[in-house]
Amino acid sequence: MLTDQVILVTGGAGFIGSNLITRLLREGRRVVCLDSFNDYYDPAIKRDNVAPHLKEKRYSLIEGDIRDEALVARLFAEHRPEIVVHLAARAGVRGSLKEPALYVDVNERGTAVLLEAARQHKANQFIFGSSSSVYGADSPLPFSTEDTALHPISPYAATKRAGELLCYTFHHLYGLNVLCARFFTVYGPHGRPDMAIYKFTKAMFEGRPISVYGDGTSRRDYTHVDDIVDGLVRSMGREFGYEIINLGRSDTVMLNDLIAIIEREVGGEAKIERLPEQPGDVPATYADIEKSRCLIGFDPKVDIREGVRRFVAWYREAFGLAASSRSQTRSPKAE
């Protein structure tokens, strides 16, 4: 259904953001994308992500940093977004171990700048992209939003939990309508190249070893980006007050099993380099999604075998690989 409601997506050139915007534009929504095109990974990939969107009349791209208060204020004054989907962040556990102060500055101060702008301009809803990493290593499985999540084990996780608390404060003080969505190991087309499924697929096609930290028995709740996007779209326009939900597949997959699934789709055996477990990593993630089912009708559809099949098919097409090819050096082309 067409709507004149303006939706601001921060980090809209990134993985989840660009997939979300594709869905919103397909539905006839008006979208403003704010992205800094930072160098956490190759900005050319993000340029490719937004290229199809630039052709759409209902799309506006603003390049800038969420910490830039003047820029954010101008954006809100000009475009008057009614819904804010805040996905911009410095991402990744390992990066946060190297640059904790940067992660705090971007993820916490940037979120505060956006919350204040949303408050001042009376946005109807603020959706915050959080992470399963907030649960830490001692939360019981499956991870429930009833857990206090007081023991994050990486600076990245701590900044995401802090973002949730900032959101609560703005709800408590000013009545801002907020939903915090905790994402569980998202993968799929246009994925981040630092994530396991992307890295392993790339390495296998290139005939290089894949780095496996630990013995391969760690488990993750891998969630296809289409399901995450569906959860976000289902959340829009609802009056929650303040709520936290999990967006995950609610199905854990052992790392060794994931590698076997990718091997089957790529058509070859992985060369595995075993490395010590990494600080900040948790042994397992597993989403309790009963609350999200009840609140938004969330119902993930894509299991890991189908999801990996779709990803490898996208990867082949994006890099111009024949079914038997095992080499690529180019950036993915825009779809």
Mean pLDDT of 265-280: 89
The answer to the question of residue 196 being in a domain is no
Q: How far is CA 95 from CA 99, 157, 238, 288, 317, in A?
A: 6, 11, 34, 27, 29
pLDDT in tens, 286-312: 999 999 999 999 999 999 999 999 999
Q: State how far Cα 243 lies from the chain centre.
A: 18
Burial 225-264 (b: 16+ CB within 10 A, else e): bbbbbbbbbbbbeeebebbbbbbbbbbbbebeebbebbee
Confidence at 36, pLDDT banded by 50, 70, 90:
very high
The answer to whether 188 and 225 have CB atoms below 8 angstroms apart is yes
Tell me the longest C-alpha to C-alpha distance in the chain.
Answer: 59
The answer to the question of residue 312 being in a domain is no
The answer to the question of residue 34 being in a domain is yes
pLDDT of residue 280: 77
pLDDT of residue 310: 97
For residue 155, pLDDT beyond 80? yes
pLDDT of residue 321: 84
Residues above pLDDT 70, as percent of the chain: 95
Mean pLDDT of 80-98: 96
pLDDT of residue 329: 38
For residue 1, pLDDT beyond 90? no
Output Rg (C-alpha) for the chain, integer angstroms.
19
Mean pLDDT of 141-168: 96
* 156 is known as an active-site residue: yes
The answer to the question of residue 266 being in a domain is no
pLDDT in tens, 164-216: 999 999 999 999 999 999 999 999 999 999 999 999 999 999 999 999 988 89
pLDDT of residue 322: 62
The answer to the question of residue 120 being in a domain is yes
Residue 150 class from Cβ within 10 Å (0-12 exposed, 13-18 middle, 19+ buried)? exposed
For residue 324, pLDDT beyond 80? no
The answer to the question of residue 209 being in a domain is no
pLDDT of residue 3: 67
Bridge partner residues of 296 (DSSP):
none
Q: How many domains does the chain have?
A: 1
Exactly one of 135, 156, 222, 315 is catalytic; name it.
Answer: 156
Q: Distance between CA atoms of 307 and 251, rounded to whole angstroms?
A: 13
Residues 6+ apart with CB under 8 A from 97: 154, 155, 279, 280
Backbone angles phi, psi at 135, to 5 degrees: -75, -25
Confidence at 334, pLDDT banded by 50, 70, 90:
very low
The answer to the question of residue 172 being in a domain is yes
DSSP string, 2-20: ----EEEEETTTSHHHHHH
Domain that holds residue 73: 6-185+224-247
Which CATH number does the domain housing residue 136 bear?
3.40.50.720
The answer to whether 199 and 193 have CB atoms below 8 angstroms apart is yes
